[in-house]
Amino acid sequence: MGETGIDSHVHARESFRDVHADAHPGAHPQTAPAPSRARDDERTQPHLRVLTAPPDDATLRAQVDAGLTATSETLRRYLTDRRDQAGHVAHEYLVLWETVAAQVGGKMLRPRLTVAAYLGLGGTDLDAVAPVAAAQELLHTAMLVHDDVLDGDEVRRGVPNVAGTYRARLRDRGVVGRAADHQVLGSALLGGDLALSGAFDLVATAPVGPEVRVQAMRLLATTLATTVAGELLDVGGELLAPSDVDPLLVAELKTAAYTCCAPLQAGALLAHAPAATHATLDRVGTALGIAFQLADDDLGVFGDPAVTGKSVHSDLRAGTRTELLRYAYLLADDAGRAVLDRHVGDPALDDAGAAAVRDVMVGSGARDHVLALAAGAARSARETAARHLPPVLAGYLGGVVDELAERGK
């Protein structure tokens, strides 16, 4: 997949953004004029963590690490404050915040991209970028909580998620069946909503100029709407034959937008990057996000659960419409498609059935094809960054591409 191979996906989201731009003129950093630095100097609090622009790769890596430390501390303080305030409202409200807070955490990829873009494009104020980077992580938490609701999952990363935690608590109280189902669903939906509100709250209180703050809020809102569009297509795809869906469009809308594009653009916005840089980051983020999703789909079938923490049965049992499954149906012979029909979507799928599906995916060439797509998307991200971004930032993002490619190995 060369640089032009992702054009249709970039253009699809550009069309989506244009609809929202009509309602909110100047909402997007690609089209809005860069705010003046004089306005950005209007601060709401003093800043102590100010860095110099990174002159080399090692310095940028060290500064990103410092930025992630500041982001983690900002997120910790925010969640502590929310729990403290919730305790004055109602015990149940406190418990929900505690449950949501327990879901926050992981590799911090999204905050990392925000901090890297900000510092790599000349930003120096960690206090300015930390809350915006923390917002990316809370948005991620909200998406995971709501995605688990849509999928009916009650375990995440090998432990109970918000829904699973409430299910266990209700079971301890003797509440089971439909009465428990209603409480579990409501708690998980509301928990995701809390995380969403926190993401917007963090951006709204970021110590940056008012124009930048408004643009960052609008970027977050548009990212949320884009992700909803991807989720909708993903859910609707369950009613279609695997060969009739467009998993790459779903990946671009549902995964790339909030996992890579928005975090990169948020950092660029705070750094006052020009429109051309935003356009480049959108292309890099789209390619990186698609590569990320294709690799994740492969790990969901062929990965080692002990390494990835991801089941190799759940996607097959759910019949998840991935590019891997789509190509398996397209490339397999009649006997292979019969195997897929028999086992994919079977809630009782066992090891033998999963192995039979994997054999079809390998034997038909579907797995090799999708791995090549993922490698091409990763190459496109790396090459686009190298051509159009400052060398230090391009090198850092190339390292992120390599790390994602090594997941599960």
- Quick one: pLDDT at residue 8? 54
CATH number of 132's domain: 1.10.600.10
Reported as type and span, the H/E element at residue 372 is helix 366-388
62 found inside a domain: yes
For position 229, what pLDDT does the model report? 98
Assess whether 192 and 303 both reside in one domain: no
Query: Residue 48 pLDDT > 60, yes or no?
Result: no
Single residue among 207, 234, 265 that ends a domain in this structure: 207
pTM above 0.85, yes or no: yes
**Same domain (yes/no): 258, 353:** yes
226 and 352 part of one domain: yes
Q: Which two tokens stand for residue 65?
A: 């690490």
Residue range 90-135, pLDDT digits in tens? 999 999 999 999 999 889 999 999 999 999 999 999 999 999 999 9
**269 and 133 both lie in a single domain:** no
191 and 218 share a domain?
no
Q: With 60 as the cut, is the pLDDT of residue 332 above it?
A: yes
Residue 126, Cβ neighbours under 10 Å: how many? 24
Question: Residues in the chain, how many?
Answer: 409
Contact 197, 189 (CB under 8 A): no
For 394, other C-beta atoms within 10 Å of its C-beta total 20
What Å distances lie between residue 192 and 71, 152, 298, CA to CA?
20, 14, 27
Domain containing 279 equals 210-408
Q: Given this model, what pLDDT does residue 9 score?
A: 56
Say what the pLDDT of residue 285 is. Answer: 98
Residue 17 confidence (pLDDT): 53
pLDDT tens digits, 351-375: 999 999 999 999 999 999 999 999 9
The pLDDT value given to residue 42: 40
3-state secondary structure at position 390: coil
Is residue 79 one of the residues assigned to a domain? yes
Amino acid at residue number 319 = G
Cα separation, 316 vs 350, in Å, equals: 10
pLDDT of residue 408: 56
Are residue 157 and residue 81 in the same domain, yes or no?
yes
My answer on whether 356 and 259 are in the same domain is: yes
- Which residue, of 207, 242, 277, is where some domain finishes? 207
Is residue 353, in this structure, part of any structural domain at all?
A: yes
Residues 74 and 215 in one domain: no
* Domain C-terminal end among 172, 207, 242: 207
Quick one: pLDDT at residue 249? 98
What is the mean predicted confidence (pLDDT) over 12-32?
46
CA atoms within 13 A on the CB side of 380: 27
pLDDT at site 153: 87
Question: Is 119 part of any domain?
Answer: no
Query: Does position 172 have pLDDT exceeding 90, yes or no?
Result: yes
Higher-pLDDT residue of 46, 70: 70
pLDDT-derived band at 157, boundaries 50, 70, 90: confident
Q: Is residue 266 part of a domain?
A: yes
Q: Are residues 281 and 316 in the same domain?
A: yes
Average pLDDT of the segment spanning 314-328? 95
Residues 6+ apart with CB under 8 A from 370: 294, 297, 298, 323, 324, 327
For residue 279, the one-letter residue type is A
In a domain, 10, yes or no: no
Give the chain's largest Cα–Cα span. 68
pLDDT (0 to 100) of residue 26: 37
Number of domains in the chain: 2
Q: Please indicate, yes or no, if residue 36 is contained in any of the structural domains.
A: no
Band of residue 30 on the pLDDT scale cut at 50, 70, 90: very low
Q: In the predicted model, is pLDDT for residue 35 greater than 70? A: no
The span from the CA of 386 to the CA of 397, in Å, is: 9
Pairing type for strands 159-160 and 155-156 reads antiparallel
Q: Is residue 9 part of a domain?
A: no
Question: What gap in Å lies between CA 284 and CA 288, rounded to an integer?
Answer: 6
246 and 368 both lie in a single domain? yes
Q: Which residues contact 335 (CB under 8 A, 6 or more apart)?
A: none
Average pLDDT, the chain: 89
Counting residues of the chain whose pLDDT is more than 70, the rounded percentage is: 87
DSSP code at position 238: G
In the predicted structure, residue 2 carries a pLDDT above the cut 50? no
What's residue 29's pLDDT?
41
Secondary structure (3-state) at 260? helix
Residues 187 and 172 reside in one and the same domain: yes
Residues 273, 193 within the same domain: no
User: At 297, is the pLDDT very low, low, confident or very high (cuts 50, 70, 90)?
Assistant: very high
pLDDT tens track for 50-97: 677 677 899 999 999 999 999 999 999 999 999 999 999 999 999 999
More confident residue, 282 or 24: 282
pLDDT confidence of residue 44: 41
